[in-house]
Amino acid sequence: MDTDLISDGMHCDFCSSNVISWLYPCVSFNNPLKGRRATLDAESKGDWLACDTCHLHIEADARTALLNRCLLHMVAPTTLVPLTREQRRKTRPQIKKLHEQFFSHRTGPPRSFRPSVPLLRGLTVIDSQHGRNARS
């Protein structure tokens, strides 16, 4: 089995929950991130993972509920502190665009996903055929 090391462990690619139940097949796509000073060339790579709650929102096509959940649970990447109301307001358009791209790049129905390899000291080894979404 080919494996990759994911340093941040496995988590929901929508709300960052560490309880994963679903894998959504998806093709890679570009996702430019506009910051105050520059635009970063980011890419979403391969399949996305989802928790049960985000899965329910996706399957119900409840995109606003999914967006609100993601923003509520999102943390600042450098401090891991939940975003402030103002940060959520500023981030909302980018996350909404990212979700729109996810929906347009899905390649099939979700599959039940149960990680077969345990978390090891902050590193998770996963089967590389499943890919992972690049986190920014």
pLDDT tens digit string along 94-125? 889 889 999 999 999 999 987 654 433 233 33
Considering the entire predicted model, what is its pTM?
0.71
Is residue 136 domain-resident? no
SS (H, E, C) 99-119: HHHHHHHECCCCEECCCCCCE
Is 10 within a domain? Answer: yes
* φ, ψ of residue 128 in degrees (nearest 5): -70, -15
The whole-number pLDDT of residue 18 equals 86
CA 131 to chain centre: 12
Q: How many CB atoms lie within 10 A of CB 67?
A: 18
Report which DSSP code applies to 122. Answer: T
Q: Where are the beta strands (DSSP E) in the chain?
A: 3-6, 22-24, 29-30, 33-34, 39-40, 43-44, 48-50, 111-112, 119-120, 123-127
Q: Is residue 83 part of a domain?
A: yes
Domain containing 76: what range? 3-130
According to DSSP, residue 68 is labeled: H
Residue 43 lies inside a defined structural domain of this protein: yes
- Would residue 135 count as lying in a domain? no
pLDDT digit string (tens) for 20-75? 899 999 998 887 666 555 555 667 788 999 999 999 999 999 999 999 999 998 87
Q: How many domains does the chain have?
A: 1
The answer as to whether 64 is a domain residue is: yes
